[in-house]
Amino acid sequence: MRKFLAAAFCLLLVAPATAGTWSYEGGATPIAWLDTGDAQFQFACRSGQLAMGFWVRKPATSVASASTMSLAITPDPAPGSKVSNASGTSFAQDMPLIHLDGSSAVIRGPVARQWARIAQGARSDIRVAFVRQGSGGLEVFDSHVFGARGSKSMIAQVLAKCG
């Protein structure tokens, strides 16, 4: 019984540590991803082309009803900071959204490569959010923070497959 309790306790300690670590899966579609339960951020090699995806399971109403939305990525955001034009944030403008039990955006080409470099360079966290320009300035929806642990090596494996 003591061995069982010790093993269960060890699993409880390991689970939170691996929850914030990027994963890699090879195969026909190599993919590096981090899933928080509420959102997933990923880089995949699809047909030899790099694709970046951001998926939110329960999006804000404004996102769920939108046909397009811009995306923002901020490496190592300061604790308590908000997405802004001046916070080291990069933007992908007006991406079509896919609504299948949530909302997602997929980006390919140079922007996906730029975001892969940004994600690989983050030391602790990566913040990704849906954004749009409103009359009062930048509006932010479904902002999610992903841990950066393992992103450099896992994304590198996908980039190696995408040439």
Domain extent, residue 41, equals: 22-161
Query: Does 64 fall in a domain?
Result: yes
**d(C-alpha 49, C-alpha 109), whole Å:** 7
The CA distances from residue 60 to 46, 120, 143, in Å, are 28, 28, 10
Full-model pTM: 0.84
What pLDDT tens digit does each residue of the chain (163 aa) get? 343 333 333 333 333 333 479 999 998 899 999 999 999 999 999 888 999 999 999 999 999 999 999 999 999 999 889 998 877 899 999 888 998 889 999 999 899 999 999 999 999 999 999 999 888 889 999 999 999 999 999 999 999 998 6
Query: Does 87 fall in a domain?
Result: yes
Residue 36 phi, psi (nearest 5) = -95, -5
Cβ–Cβ < 8 Å for 12, 2: no
Query: Does 134 fall in a domain?
Result: yes
Query: Does 14 fall in a domain?
Result: no
Query: Does 7 fall in a domain?
Result: no
Query: Does 56 fall in a domain?
Result: yes
**d(C-alpha 142, C-alpha 127), whole Å:** 10
Cβ–Cβ < 8 Å for 161, 106: no
Domain total of the chain = 1
Residue 83 phi, psi (nearest 5) = -65, 130
What tokens were used for 146? Answer: 């992903």
Query: Does 6 fall in a domain?
Result: no
